[in-house]
Structure formats: C-alpha cells, structure tokens
Amino acid sequence: MSSLEFFSKLFGGLTSAYGTYELTGARRADGKAEGRALTKKADVTLDLFAKHLKGELSLGIVPIMKDNNCKWGCIDVDEYDGFDPLKIIKKIRELNLPLFPYRSKSGGLHIFLHIDGVVPATDMIDKLTQLASRLGLADCEIFPKQRTINVELGTIGNWLNLPYQNAELKTRNKRHRPIHCNRRFRKSSTTLFSQTRRFL
C-alpha cells in the first residue's frame, strides 16, 4: 500500500461530500487564523488526498459515514493565544491514551483517535467526550458531531480539516527535516490501533 493510499484509508469517512478551507491571512481577536470554508457534494477521490498532501488544497473529511459508522474521531481544541499544546501532549502520554495530536490549520490542536475497523459514530462521540474530560478539555468540540445522518435526505454531517496539508513543508521534526506521514503512522499505528479496543 502506498503512502497516499494509507493516508486516505486512515482518514477516510463519508465518500459523497467533503470540505475545503482557504486561509485569508487575517486573524481573529483570539488569534485564530480566518478563512473561507466550502462544502462540496461530490465524490471523495484519491486525487483530493494527493492535492491535500501537496498543499494544493486543504481537504476536510466528514468522519461519519453513510451507514453511521466511523473509523476515526477528533477532539477539536479551539484555543489560540496563550495556549500551550505541549501540556496537552504531555498529559496524553502520562495517561497512556492512544491519541494522535496535531496542530490545526487555524493554529489550535486536533487530537485524533483512530480505529482498526469501524464503530458506531455514537460510540465514538461518547468515548471522545470521556477522554476530553480526562484531558481537561470538556468544553471542546467532538467530531463526528452527528450521531446519525441520512445522506438520501441531504444530511451529510460536519467535516474537519485533515492534518498533513502541504506535508513536506509543514510537518517537520526538531531538526526541521520532513516527517513523512507514511513513516510516522506505520511506526506507531499497529500498536495504538490494538490499544483502542479497550477504550471502546
């Protein structure tokens, strides 16, 4: 499996709609980067993931699928000025939680939980709500935001911007060398995915 295929599988969700987000360069009073969000009702293709990783667009995926299952969820830490993400990352490690933290496009923090397989979206929401509380993040948004959707009736759920946008430039280690998504996830995902079962 290629790096691109692995990434698209890991962050896969609803296949009939997606979002894009374009930063304007402006910032709100709280420090959040502002942008223009657009939801598109169209097929989610491998090419969209490729463009995301190359920095040609910022791709947002709806985590809840047509059958109301999901393979990942996220705690959206919407804090900016004065926020220290390292404190949260340290707590995740201290509690030995199978979570992946990423800096969000707007400057906050997205904390992902990936599943080996799928679970009902309602179970993911309940578990992430519990984990957010343990991390002192009870007021944060949880994705998926919907417990059920009905694609035939036009309800598609809320999408979330994925990490690794323009990956070669933005995702780097302490020596400012690129961290390839394939290398990082393949190194740790097998162990973490097996651990998530005791949380769900």
Mean pLDDT across 11-36? 80
The first and second tokens of residue 197, run together, are: 């079962």
Q: What is this structure's pTM?
A: 0.82
Strands (E), the chain: 18-27, 33-40, 59-61, 69-77, 100-103, 109-120, 141-143, 160-161
Answer for the pair 83, 32: CB distance below 8 angstroms, yes or no. Answer: no
Q: Please state, in angstroms and rounded to a whole number, the distance separating the CA atoms of residues 74 and 140.
A: 10
Say what the pLDDT of residue 33 is. Answer: 66
Which is higher by pLDDT, 158 or 31? 158
C-beta separation of 59 from 19 below 8 A? yes
Q: Which of 81-90, 113-122, 174-183 has the lowest mean pLDDT?
A: 174-183
Positive or negative, the Cα torsion across 140, 143, 144, 146? positive
Q: Which residues contact 25 (CB under 8 A, 6 or more apart)?
A: none
The boundaries of the domain holding residue 150 are: 3-199
Cβ-Cβ contacts under 8 Å for 4 (sequence gap 6 or more): 46, 49, 50, 53
Q: Is the pLDDT of residue 193 over 60?
A: no
The DSSP bridge pattern shows strands 109-120 and 59-61 to be: unpaired
pLDDT at 24: 67
CA nearest 125: which of 59, 68, 40, 85? 68
Where residue 50 sits, what CATH number does that domain have? 3.90.920
Nearest CA to 181 among 53, 1, 75? 53
Average pLDDT of the residues of the chain = 84
Summarize the confidence of residues 117-132 as an average pLDDT: 97
Tell me the residue type at 198. Answer: R
Task: Give the pLDDT confidence score for residue 199 in this predicted structure.
Answer: 52
Count of domains observed in the chain: 1
pLDDT for res 175? 46
pLDDT above 50: residue 150: yes
Query: For 49-108, how does the pLDDT look when each residue is reduced to its tens digit (9 = 90+)?
Result: 999 999 999 999 999 999 999 999 999 998 766 778 899 999 999 999 999 998 887 778
